[in-house]
Structure 1
Amino acid sequence: MESSKMLRGLLLLGLMSILSRTQATQEVSAEDFEVEKPETAADRDLAEVLEVLLDRMNNHISSTEKRGSIPLCAMGNRCAMKFGPRIGKLCDCGRGANCNSYLLKCI
């Protein structure tokens, strides 16, 4: 008899602790999904400054890429030009092809 009362008490205590934990987690999860605050003037100013910096970086990167890029040649096209003892590149051969220094063509 006494053991059944103890068992009921322990079950009741366990049930109460489980219910209190689930209630606490529900309160925390409700706080996590609050509506965000509207932007302040400082946030907008910071975003504008970042946009200007990104535009400058994109312009700088694109100008360096334009100078260093060499167009691709098709197979059999001229890929180099002879300037006296030197050979200069007109274009770069595609994947799997090489520029032959004797024929000056992509093979």
Structure 2
Amino acid sequence: MKMTPKRTVVYLSVCLSVLTSLCQGQRSADSQLPSAPDEPILGLTTNELAEALQGLLDEADSRVGLSVEKKASVIPRCDVGERCAMKHGPRIGRLCDCLRGTACNTFFLRCY
């Protein structure tokens, strides 16, 4: 019995797909997390891990001293005709953001 190249390719592809599915099933069974939530991880329970993480976060927050509100810079809104920018030599600094439908004129530095 002589095998044609097409038949060989079909047999090889079937064998590879079967092996891939078997290996995939084995890998998913090995990578499952432990089912017991109170089982110690690295010698610590989940409550101890949570307390340690909270302590680290509190310590990092006290060291930084900046709150989230200060980091998120919110530019106030300007009405039409109000001054929206200020010139600092060759650069222009923004004072406020113009309302929707208007833009800050870079010559007059006002919302129009």
Q: TM-score, normalised by structure 1?
A: 0.43
Query: Greater share of helix residues, 1 or 2?
Result: 1
Point out the structure with max Rg over C-alpha.
1
